[in-house]
A and B are shown apart, each in its own frame.
Chain A
């Protein structure tokens, strides 16, 4: 191994071997194709004419926005409104519970912390296809079956633990002197949380809210089982049920899929780097 071959320090593991770099490059191209082509296929199909679906290749031969214009006549708009209602309610509910909880669980040495954290983790690990049965019974007892608020309550059980686990380290990282100073100035805990901690942790809270929002936006199991009437379904259920139903109008369905991905596109464009920090903290720490 000659000195001439060696790359500058800190460039990762493949920086030296030319061969490895070539392998990496090929893999990178394959990766881009594996994730880009299905998305291109979705977009391309949504721009096809219904009559061209069987004959066209991957891309539309006569690009048209017909699919996008026609679904304004279908039950797409109610589904879109339902998705907005459910996901905003879920996000507000989840963050409203999780922010104080994350603060309450931060920087304390109580013996209740470990059992509390274990409960939060366990909630996330239990299959939703098992919990929806008793939740259905509970919501039925509360008169909340076929109610979008019932769906939000059920979804919040998934997102409260997630949000607490992401936000708690952020609260832990605030300098203790900050809270002491606030306390000396006469600010109670609630005021410290709202006026000092929250503005400081604004970005972390916003990213957490964004992840909860798009997750709720795409949530299927609870929306599918707790809502009994077509006009209450959110987009996720609308798509899932349409997949089996209209076999010949894939251009319509793909246009709905494209629109359903727009919130995700916005979130990723706005906060790609912060998302990584969020998911890393929430998942592994």
Chain B
């Protein structure tokens, strides 16, 4: 790379004079011309994201069924869909359930993810195996891990978990992990966390590598033990990453669809549905696009509220 560069810089002066003289101003390197390269992507996002968001709101104030979804001019019903949604028991029950799911899944992912990152950064013999597994599971299609856990948590002796619990004598009869509402929600939370921990661990492993070794050295000289070095060096160093991750995980967990769909389809009834999942159920199980969209709008607004701290932080970093 260096050789052609050196050659080029040799002809710099002559070339420069020629270009500047011969070229119209519009072809000079200004920032605006460069931005044109981003135009196709943003045009695409405006058509397939911004416009649909408007359409989501529009659908939420109309009566739309599957058959009339393609045609414009569905009857306007104002806030009717929102009133119906707020009165629905399914929605009212889904709100606290979603909160429990979010808190459980985010907390598990942050705590376990940090522990995983800490051990993966240590020089243990054979650490390459869990490290590989972590990367593999991170990219594994959610339907694949969902299907594996669906069978592992099967409510008969066939399920691996029940098989193990019975063999160990922990339970006398198979646990119905995915058909008893409270247990099923816990199972979904755990599986979501299982699948989410690798991402957290990978990001935190990188953050841990960036902690300057001198800090540990200094802490050691000051007589800090392992715990104090973790508490006063490691933790403060990764706190910014942890806080961004916390917001991201909150949003990602809120988006959770695949594990719910594969493990319980939101049931029994709607007992394991989160709020965004209800938008799917109302639209494609009841074919009421108006109601589904009203829940969709509520979900979008909630996601945006969750995202505010993250977006503010990004803006701050970009401007500095």
| Interface status of B21 (Cβ within 8 A of chain A) | no
Do A100 and B123 have beta carbons less than 8 Å apart?
no
Q: How far is the CA of A267 from the CA of B141 in the complex (A)?
A: 13
| Interface status of A191 (Cβ within 8 A of chain B) | no
Residues A218 and B52 in contact in the complex (CB < 8 Å), given A28-B127, A118-B311, A160-B41: no
Do A135 and B52 have beta carbons less than 8 Å apart?
yes
Do B41 and A164 have beta carbons less than 8 Å apart?
yes
Q: How far is the CA of A275 from the CA of B31 in the complex (A)?
A: 31
Q: How far is the CA of A103 from the CA of B37 in the complex (A)?
A: 7
Do B31 and A110 have beta carbons less than 8 Å apart?
yes
Do B144 and A243 have beta carbons less than 8 Å apart?
no
**A214 to chain B: closest residue by CB:** B139
Q: How far is the CA of A110 from the CA of B34 in the complex (A)?
A: 10
Q: Tell me which residues across on chain B come within 8 A of A239, comparing CB atoms.
A: 141, 143-144, 147, 262
Residues A54 and B144 in contact in the complex (CB < 8 Å), given A110-B35, A137-B59, A178-B5: no
Q: Tell me which residues across on chain B come within 8 A of A243, comparing CB atoms.
A: 143, 146-147, 150, 262
Do B37 and A156 have beta carbons less than 8 Å apart?
no
| Interface status of B196 (Cβ within 8 A of chain A) | no
Within 8 A of A (CB), among B49-70: 49-56, 58-59, 64, 69-70
Residues A129 and B299 in contact in the complex (CB < 8 Å), given A101-B38, A101-B42, A264-B140: yes
Interface size class of B (residues with CB under 8 A): 35 or more
Given contacts A112-B35, A116-B42, A240-B258, 4 further A-B contacts (CB under 8 A): A12-B121, A97-B44, A156-B44, A214-B139
Among the listed B52, B217, B241, B261, which residue makes an inter-chain contact with A138, where contact means beta carbons less than 8 Å apart?
A: B52
Do A217 and B141 have beta carbons less than 8 Å apart?
yes
Do A133 and B289 have beta carbons less than 8 Å apart?
yes
Do A118 and B148 have beta carbons less than 8 Å apart?
no
Q: How far is the CA of A236 from the CA of B223 in the complex (A)?
A: 54
Do B34 and A108 have beta carbons less than 8 Å apart?
yes
**A110 to chain B: closest residue by CB:** B31
Q: How far is the CA of A261 from the CA of B33 in the complex (A)?
A: 43
Do B226 and A114 have beta carbons less than 8 Å apart?
no
Task: Name the 5 nearest CB pairs between A and B, nearest first.
Answer: A218-B141, A104-B37, A140-B70, A130-B296, A104-B38
Q: Tell me which residues across on chain B come within 8 A of A193, comparing CB atoms.
A: 37
Among the listed B203, B258, B280, which residue makes an inter-chain contact with A283, where contact means beta carbons less than 8 Å apart?
A: B203
**A residues at B contact (CB < 8 Å):** 1, 6, 9-17, 20-21, 24-25, 27-28, 31-32, 34-39, 41-42, 45, 53-54, 57-58, 97-98, 100-101, 103-105, 107-110, 112-114, 116-123, 125-138, 140-141, 145, 153-154, 156-157, 160-161, 164, 177-181, 183-186, 188-189, 193, 200, 211, 214-215, 217-218, 220-221, 224-225, 235-236, 239-240, 242-244, 250, 253-254, 257, 260-261, 264-265, 267-268, 272, 275-277, 279-280, 283-285
Interface centre among B19, B119, B292 (most CB of A within 10 A): B119
Main secondary structure, interface of B, reads helix
Do B8 and A184 have beta carbons less than 8 Å apart?
yes
Do A211 and B139 have beta carbons less than 8 Å apart?
yes
Q: How far is the CA of A283 from the CA of B206 in the complex (A)?
A: 12
Q: How far is the CA of A279 from the CA of B11 in the complex (A)?
A: 40
B109 to chain A, nearest CB (A): 13
Q: Tell me which residues across on chain B come within 8 A of A260, comparing CB atoms.
A: 141, 143-144
Interface centre among A103, A109, A177, A243 (most CB of B within 10 A): A243
Q: How far is the CA of A161 from the CA of B230 in the complex (A)?
A: 35
Do A123 and B262 have beta carbons less than 8 Å apart?
no
Do A126 and B300 have beta carbons less than 8 Å apart?
yes
Do A123 and B139 have beta carbons less than 8 Å apart?
no
B89 to chain A, nearest CB (A): 20
Among the listed A38, A45, A103, A261, which residue makes an inter-chain contact with B141, where contact means beta carbons less than 8 Å apart?
A: A261
Residues A133 and B283 in contact in the complex (CB < 8 Å), given A24-B118, A218-B140: yes
Within 8 A of A (CB), among B99-139: 115-116, 118-119, 121-124, 127, 129-139
Q: Tell me which residues across on chain B come within 8 A of A110, comparing CB atoms.
A: 31-32, 35
Q: Tell me which residues across on chain A come within 8 A of B307, comparing CB atoms.
A: 121-122, 125
A139 to chain B, nearest CB (A): 9
Do A130 and B34 have beta carbons less than 8 Å apart?
no
